[in-house]
Amino acid sequence: MVTIINEACAISPCNTRFAAGGDDGIIYLYNKESSVSLLTIYPAHMARVNDVAFSHDGSMMCSAGKDGKIVIYTNTTKHVLYLPEFKLPVKDYGNLFEEEIESNLPKMIEVFSLVWTCDDTRIVCASSDYLVRVCYSHTGKQY
């Protein structure tokens, strides 16, 4: 099986690891100290990984996906801290016919990019609904 790695790549602050996101929704974490070797894989998303980023202290990593999710990991325990799903507000469609409702439903929100704040307590992300969101890195809750 061949995995296509897209433009989602990041190097850890200590310059010893790098992460690459695949079109298959998986993040590949590599060790680059002695020779490049695959450390582990994270099945992160149901669709393409759009962006990956390490926290400034290197203890956490996060990813943004076409599936509308941000996934936050600790690099030492390989544990998913939180998987927030960003959704649009519910709209009242009144007495529209079913076909009209389907054509007016919001499309899935895709998270394009993300960045850590300087103190690593929050993550800022940009998405396909033209909004910028901020969430806490340890809880995933929106700011």
Condensed to tens digits (0 to 9), the pLDDT of residues 56-114 reads 998 899 998 888 888 888 755 544 434 445 544 444 545 544 444 445 545 667 889 99
Q: Considering the entire predicted model, what is its pTM?
A: 0.75
Q: Is the pLDDT of residue 131 over 50?
A: yes
Q: Quick check: 62 and 116 in contact, CB under 8 A?
A: yes
Per-residue pLDDT at 123 = 92
Quote the CA–CA distance of 56 and 44 in Å, as a whole number. 21
Nearest by Cα to 81 from 22, 17, 141: 141
Condensed to tens digits (0 to 9), the pLDDT of residues 30-53 reads 888 766 678 888 888 888 899 999
Q: Is the pLDDT of residue 2 over 60?
A: no
Q: Quick check: 28 and 53 in contact, CB under 8 A?
A: no
Q: Is the pLDDT of residue 5 over 70?
A: no
Per-residue pLDDT at 114 = 92
Q: Quick check: 38 and 30 in contact, CB under 8 A?
A: yes
Burial zone of 142 (CB within 10 Å; 0-12 exposed, 13-18 middle, 19+ buried): exposed
Residues 6 or more apart whose CB falls under 8 angstroms from that of 98 comprise: none
